[in-house]
Structure 1
């Protein structure tokens, strides 16, 4: 009797093992990665010297979250040179002050997509993702994740307060279909299309006719010590220049980036940006066009556990025109900025960092830090120093 029971149990165990074998094999192919960053800084920051002293922002201390995040990546080989991909990444507010009230410690979604990779061809993605201008903006920026007051992207991404809404070229694309190619002899390309989900009916002559799609293209060429990047992006009907909710507004951006590895320890970089914001329906003294350019140069040097990097940037005066075809005054709207930073690598996953940075505006300039800004008044100089800890896994 006991022998029969043992045989029955053995048979059942074998049947279960056979039933679970395909699932186990499938699970063996699936690769998942949990990753994240916790980065916070104690800072002392202010913006003084404004044209109107009453609008100065005296120096104050704060604790800032620096692009902390939590994410999951998954990949599944499908055969025939194809791999299924999925990624979920959300911002995390280490100090609970930079997240939305309803989100608590969780911030907004970052790159979140589902995709299909074709070996030696490229990857198709659907979701929310970093388009070409944002991808290229960090080429000359050696700050961690291109975030926090260590960055020098403000000269590339800002319009000196001369548009009603800040330019959006350093924000991610929503509702997007994207393609990122494999590298062919060092050359690769990427293209993104953000769908026009806010498109409105034709309406009447006095109503909105929005067609709010956006397109973004990027090229990268890596050869020897050089990493060269170019991006071209257009965002339609965002109302950036005058805050318009009507159609025929166009925001365009061209960006060039270069990195040059002097040796294994030293890197030099350059970033150039030219943007143009337009509103074809502007009338009177509302702006019909605004353009400006920015340039940044930077360097990074690593010596064992010590890393030093810094950069300087220049934002030009704006050039603009009113809706009545008269030129508007863009004088004294430029700025200069600089940053010097030091990192000590306590471990491959954890480091200490400290920095000092300044943005000096001309009399009518209102440039700010691209990330962690303080909102300076016209003509103010923003200064900040800080130190923090970063843990990545």
Structure 2
């Protein structure tokens, strides 16, 4: 995988980070075994200048923005060898906005009742055990659909100008979750369950076992130049009165490597109950009662030289029962000054019709029914 994707994978598996710096280590010796533990500090600082036209507030805008190709972050990962192939592991990862120093995941406001949280480690906070390719972790973790979208979206579900612009849940994180990952030859099987996937709406409700529940499963195949995945997830509404309402997604995607070129294709089906809370993103975005949509994408990455890469991709959202079917086209050029530092430029164009409101940065970021062009030039540094 190319540098762009490898560094983004650090958001859910910091072992792939380049240039991480070990900040603490110790050796424990007992009479029958030798165990070693370490803690590693890592992070990404990503900032750029963005131009947008037809903004939701009207007119054009030039601004400095944090987290473009990769969300700016710092984190710590730890591992302790317990012997016999068993390891204890943890990750604490905090997102931040480098342009103003604020936390990137401390607040959110989905649906008619905005939820507010104070999260220090808003990107990830989990602990678990790993044994010979089998892993179980507990805490705030990336959703399985996020894990797979990083690999199968040509833009790696980057913070802007990616599949994330069309569906916020493709980069979702899940509170109070248990996550299993098992490797079986070329196959990886995963399962995830949460007792309350977004504590911004409160903690688990006694006697209301369906409220805020989350279920997900994934099966991925990777061998040689080809990789493919299938993911299913279901979220129950976060209110007791509507907890039988659900939001369900199915994702299927594949990529194939032809030497310096990697081709990508993906599909996501979404169906949401009209009473789902957070609010149905389709109905809100298009001002309709639509509750289902198909998202398709196709694209490619071309590593022209070891230091220069181009990515091109198109996303098309087919909203059921309406003509509000927007599409988004993205072109990115990335020049690597070193393994840790790169300069990039990204251009995106969102096309809307029948009053849809898809902007290059997501639904609701453009004046309804208007098209939008966005350009970002930025610098990213990994440590």
TM-score (norm 1): 0.75
> Which deviates further from its counterpart, 246-255 or 129-138?
129-138
- 8 Å Cα contact 2:106-2:122 kept in structure 1: no
Q: In the aligned structure 2, how far is the partner of 1:185 from the partner of 1:102? A: 39
Aligned pair partner of 1:386 in 373, 376, 381: 376
Q: In the aligned structure 1, how far is the partner of 2:290 from the partner of 2:270? A: 11
Deviation, 1:210, is 5.5
Compared with structure 1, are the counterparts of its residues 117 and 36 closer, same or farther at alpha carbon in structure 2 (3 Å cutoff)? same
Structure 1 residue aligned with 2:158: 147
Aligned pair partner of 1:99 in 91, 98, 103: 103
Structure 2 residue aligned with 1:364: 355
Question: C-alpha deviations, 1:194-253, integer Å up to 9, x for none?
Answer: 114433546xxxxxx8622111111110122111011000001236xxxx9532211100
Compared with structure 1, are the counterparts of its residues 107 and 42 closer, same or farther at alpha carbon in structure 2 (3 Å cutoff)? farther
Aligned pair partner of 2:270 in 264, 267, 275: 275
Q: In the aligned structure 1, how far is the partner of 2:90 from the partner of 2:276? A: 42
- 8 Å Cα contact 2:236-2:276 kept in structure 1: no
Q: In the aligned structure 1, how far is the partner of 2:84 from the partner of 2:27? A: 21
Question: C-alpha deviations, 1:33-63, integer Å up to 9, x for none?
Answer: 1100000010101226xxxxxx662111111
- 8 Å Cα contact 1:256-1:271 kept in structure 2: yes
**1:106-121 aligned within 5 A:** 109-120=122-133
Compared with structure 1, are the counterparts of its residues 380 and 267 closer, same or farther at alpha carbon in structure 2 (3 Å cutoff)? same
- 8 Å Cα contact 2:308-2:335 kept in structure 1: yes
Structure 1 residue aligned with 2:41: 34
Q: In the aligned structure 2, how far is the partner of 1:258 from the partner of 1:310? A: 16
- 8 Å Cα contact 1:359-1:382 kept in structure 2: yes
- 8 Å Cα contact 1:63-1:95 kept in structure 2: yes
RMSD: 2.9
- Structure 1 runs of 4+ aligned residues shifted over 4 Å read 100-103, 279-282, 285-289
Compared with structure 1, are the counterparts of its residues 315 and 250 closer, same or farther at alpha carbon in structure 2 (3 Å cutoff)? same
Q: In the aligned structure 1, how far is the partner of 2:91 from the partner of 2:27? A: 23
Q: In the aligned structure 2, how far is the partner of 1:222 from the partner of 1:251? A: 29
Count of paired positions: 325
Aligned pair partner of 1:346 in 334, 337, 359: 337
Structure 2 residue aligned with 1:234: 234
Question: C-alpha deviations, 1:314-355, integer Å up to 9, x for none?
Answer: 1112x3xxxxxxxxxx32211011011111110110000001
Q: In the aligned structure 2, how far is the partner of 1:390 from the partner of 1:281? A: 37
**Residue 187, structure 1, aligned to residue 191, structure 2:** no
Deviation, 1:293, is 0.5
- In structure 1, stretches of 5+ residues that fail to align are 1-22, 49-54, 158-166, 203-208, 320-329
- 8 Å Cα contact 1:44-1:60 kept in structure 2: yes
Aligned pair partner of 1:254 in 250, 269, 275: 250
Deviation, 1:358, is 0.9
Aligned pair partner of 1:70 in 43, 58, 74: 74
Question: C-alpha deviations, 1:159-203, integer Å up to 9, x for none?
Answer: xxxxxxxx6453111111111112x2200111111114433546x
**Which of the two has higher C-alpha Rg?**
1
Q: In the aligned structure 2, how far is the partner of 1:101 from the partner of 1:116? A: 26
* SS across alignment from 2:235: strand
